[in-house]
Structure formats: structure tokens, C-alpha cells
């Protein structure tokens, strides 16, 4: 029985209660009431079925209500859910070991937390303590969370009106091959000059207290921007030359989303710390910081403290173990092929819809950028919103980056368990929506 049927509320009353009682923490709500979800499908109060191309909030990598996750929740909730923060349990230690085994040396010490912002906060706090500095570098189009340290390293949105950020936060220009700001003789992004210039500006501003650089190996909220090959290695070298720690935020890219267990593997660069969240809990609030024994030892010697209510909670740790089991059992190995199928379908759409300016990404994290003119690359968030709305009407939930300076770029991140038939259905719906909506804009 649906929630509406149980309570006797109709949709009008539901949205009236939303207006009266729910804080608006985002620009707008998706105009539908979801009653349940299973696999890659959402089921609404008015009897509709919607294909989820965002994995919830880019998190439900095993789809919704995965039977293994459901079984783990039922079993663990009945035996061990939450403990005093200074106590440890077998699920916490087992997941920490599993994470270490999945990562290259020297990453072997894990801290289990709840959200991406919290894990980034914990990593930045550790980096500051270990290095003795306080200055943090991030990309100009970064998104790392809404807590103070993470928000201070977030430049894509929400910096105005909240008072001062943490002192000592600097930006590096985003290495965007589609929209290059520094170009070579062929008009391509000259990322080496861009990176050198960025660090020369940071050096000029720094008070000599550089602590960390935090970046996503693929920038999701920036519009699925993939740094050029060689960039992350050069970034690491710049950081280490200045005594900084390099932190990779793999909230959305970790655990097979890109076709590799971790997105940084493709570049052959091992960070000093990695933070995980969304994909680790497959929709449940679970996050982690993983670093080396050497860094952890130095932090401990200096009294590192990150004592929160839900640190090392056993219930979600058990879920994390199940997520890794399912991925290792075959789901993870299928992602690269599914990603190529999806990318090929998106590139085919680009041959028939002139508003598709660029297709980029890896695995089941793909970006499709809409433009009004391919030669000028004039962006149109309004076009993206209109296509999103039409997709929803046709039964596909899409997510478009609506920030004006980023243009209208779809972040396409279906569950890793999504079938090829469902991927094809999503491509067909997107094709229809583009065909119907784009002529109104160009």
C-alpha cells in the first residue's frame, strides 16, 4: 500500500506540506513523489515508472533495494547497529582491511565516517596537523562538501553570503579540454602551462603554510571533466615539491564507477590520501579516509582527533563489505563494457543532434554537454533544464549541471547493475527529448 493511500493524502496536500514544513536546501524539487525503488527503476505515487540515470544522488551503484544490501541491513540491524565511538567491531575492522587490500601501497589505514563532506573534512584536518600548515588548494570548479573545510575548498557554488571561508584556501584553474583557457599552437588545452601558472600564483599568495591539495580525478559537479593524461602526475609532483599532501576525492568515482576500482588508477598516480563516500555505502551513509601508515602515525603522535557520533558505526560498515563483495563477484568487471556501450550511444546522439557539444567521461560516469552552437560553444542551462523536464515526463530521471558558468551538462551515472536494455531505453528517451525540445532553442 502506498504512503498516500495509507495517510489519505493526495498529491496537492503532499506538496502543500512540503511548502509549509520542508526547508528548501536546493533550487527546486523534482516534481514527483517516489513511493518505492527497485533496481534501476523508481515507482511514483501516480503509478509511473521512471528509469534512474543518477543512481539516486550518484550513490546507489548496486541499484535500489539490492537483495544483498537488504539482507545485510536486516541481519546487522538485529545484532549490531551503533556503538560508543571509542569501541570497534568486526565489520569496521574487516571493511578497513578490505579497503586497504583494494588500494595500492602505501594506502592501508582507514577511518570510517558518514558523508563525503565529513571524510574530506577529516582528511584536510589530518593533512593540516601532519604538515603543520593550513593552506588548501582545490580546482576552480570543485565540489567537496558543505562543512566548513570542505565548503572552503568548494568553488563551483554556494560561496556567497555565508561569511568568511577558512583562511588559506587557493584555487587552481580547472583543466577542461573542451573549454580550454590556456591553449597551445593547435588551440588545444596547454595544461602544463596552465598548471605551472596556477602554482606560480599559489606560491605568490602562500604564507609558506601549504598543507594539502584536494581534487576529484574526474570532476563531477564541474560537468564530468576528465583531466588530460599526465596531469595528475604533474599535480602530484608540484604538491610534493612544496611539502603538500595530495588528496583524491573519489566520492563519485571510487569503487568501479569508471571501470577501474578507483579512477586514479588510470593515471598511475597514488595519492597521499583518498576519500570515499557515496559509492562505498551504495546509498547508505558511509564514507572513509584511507592513508598511509606513516601519515597516520605522524597524525596520531600529534594528537589527531576526529571523534564523531557515527565514526566506525558497525551497521553501515557491514553494508560496505557487502558492496565490495558484490562488486568483486562480477558487477565491477562489467562496468567498462557497459560504459563503452553507453558512451557509444551518446556519441551516436551527437551525430544527429547539433546541440550535443561534447561527450566525455569513463565507465558509467558520462557527461553530455549541450550547446546552442558547436563552433562558439555557447552554453544553455535553460536547454538542459527543458530536456531534463521532458525526459522526466517520458520516464527518465536525468541530472543536469545548471550552474551558469558550467553550461548545461548532463551527469549520466546509472547504477552499475543497470542492464544494457535499460541503458538503451535511457538513450532512446534522451534521443526523443532532444528531438522535441532542441528546436525551440536553436
Q: Which of 108, 216, 260, 358 is catalytic?
A: 216
Q: Judge contact between 138 and 144, C-beta under 8 A.
A: yes
Active-site choice (98, 109, 128, 252): 252
Q: Annotated catalytic, 411? A: yes
Nearest-Å Rg of the Cα atoms of the chain is: 22
Residue 316's nearest CA partner among 262, 290, 278 is 278
| DSSP per-residue codes, 227-241 | PPTTHHHHHHHHHHH
Of the candidates 249, 260, 296, 369, the residue annotated as catalytic is: 249
> Is the omega angle on the peptide bond into residue 106 within 30 degrees of 0, that is, cis?
yes
Q: Catalytic: 249?
A: yes
User: Rounded CA gap, 228 and 240, in Å?
Assistant: 20
Catalytic (active site) residue 296:
no
Cross-strand pairs, 246? 213
Question: Which one of the listed residues 109, 125, 141, 411 is annotated catalytic?
Answer: 411
Q: d(Cα 273, Cα 136) in Å, to the nearest integer?
A: 14
How many residues does the structure list for the chain? 442
Out of 52, 121, 128, 143, pick the active-site residue: 143
Q: Among this protein's residues, is 216 annotated catalytic?
A: yes
Catalytic residue among 125, 128, 141, 278: 278
CB atoms within 10 A of CB 4: 16
Whether the Cβ atoms of residue 84 and residue 67 lie closer than 8 Å to each other? no
Does 15 qualify as catalytic in the annotation? Answer: no
Residue 252 bears catalytic tag: yes
Distance CA 228, CA 230 (A): 6
Tell me the catalytic residues.
143, 216, 249, 252, 278, 411
Amino acid at each position: 500500500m502506498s504512503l498516500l493511500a495509507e495517510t489519505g493524502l493526495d498529491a496537492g496536500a503532499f506538496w502543500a506540506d512540503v511548502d509549509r514544513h520542508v526547508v528548501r536546501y536546493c533550487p527546486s524539487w523534482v516534481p514527483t513523489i517516489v513511493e518505492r525503488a527497485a533496481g534501476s527503476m523508481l515507482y511514483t505515487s501516480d503509478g509511473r515508472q521512471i528509469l534512474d540515470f543518477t543512481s539516486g544522488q550518484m550513490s546507489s551503484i548496486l541499484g535500489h533495494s539490492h537483495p544483498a544490501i537488504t539482507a545485510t541491513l536486516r541481519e546487522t540491524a538485529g545484532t549490531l547497529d551503533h556503538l560508543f565511538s571509542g569501541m570497534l567491531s568486526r565489520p569496521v575492522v574487516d571493511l578497513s582491511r578490505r579497503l586497504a587490500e583494494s588500494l595500492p601501497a602505501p594506502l592501508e589505514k582507514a577511518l570510517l565516517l558518514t558523508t563525503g563532506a565529513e571524510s574530506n573534512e577529516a582528511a584536510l584536518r589530518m593533512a593540516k596537523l601532519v604538515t603543520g600548515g593550513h593552506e588548501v588548494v582545490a580546482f576552480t570548479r570543485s565540489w567537496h562538501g558543505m562543512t566548513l573545510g570542505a565548503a572552503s575548498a568548494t568553488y563551483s557554488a554556494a560561496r556567497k553570503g555565508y561569511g568568511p571561508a577558512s583562511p588559506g584556501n587557493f584555487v587552481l584553474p580547472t583543466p577542461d579540454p573542451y573549454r580550454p583557457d590556456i591553449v597551445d599552437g593547435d588551440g588545444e588545452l596547454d595544461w602544463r602551462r596552465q598548471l605551472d601558472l596556477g602554482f606560480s600564483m599559489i606560491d605568490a599568495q602562500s604564507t609558506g603554510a601549504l598543507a594539502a591539495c584536494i581534487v576529484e580525478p574526474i570532476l563531477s559537479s564541474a560537468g564530468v571533466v576528465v583531466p588530460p593524461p599526465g596531469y595528475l602526475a604533474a599535480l602530484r609532483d608540484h604538491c610534493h615539491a612544496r611539502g603538500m599532501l595530495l588528496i583524491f576525492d573519489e566520492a563519485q568515482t571510487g569503487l568501479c564507477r569508471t571501470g577501474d576500482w578507483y579512477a586514479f588508477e588510470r593515471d598511475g598516480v597514488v595519492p597521499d590520501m583518498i576519500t570515499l563516500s557515496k559509492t562505498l555505502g551504495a546509498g547508505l551513509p558511509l564514507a572513509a579516509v584511507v592513508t598511509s601508515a606513516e601519515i597516520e602515525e605522524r597524525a596520531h603522535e600529534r594528537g589527531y582527533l576526529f571523534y564523531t557520533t557515527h565514526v566506525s558505526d558497525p551497521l553501515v560498515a557491514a553494508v560496505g563489505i557487502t558492496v565490495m563483495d558484490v562488486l568483486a563477484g562480477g558487477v565491477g568487471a562489467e562496468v567498462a563494457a557497459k560504459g563503452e556501450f553507453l558512451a557509444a550511444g551518446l556519441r551516436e546522439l551527437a551525430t544527429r543532434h547539433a546541440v550535443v557539444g561534447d561527450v566525455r567521461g569513463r565507465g558509467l560516469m558520462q557527461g553530455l554537454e549541450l550547446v546552442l552552437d558547436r563552433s562558439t560553444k555557447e552554453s544553455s542551462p535553460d536547454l538542459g533544464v527543458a530536456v531534463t523536464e521532458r525526459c522526466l515526463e517520458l520516464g527518465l530521471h536525468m541530472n543536469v549541471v545548471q550552474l551558469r558558468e558550467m553550461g548545461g551538462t548532463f551527469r549520466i551515472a546509472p547504477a552499475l547493475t543497470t542492464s544494457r536494455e535499460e541503458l538503451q531505453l535511457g538513450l532512446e528517451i534522451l534521443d526523443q527529448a532532444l528531438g522535441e525540445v532542441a528546436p525551440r532553442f536553436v
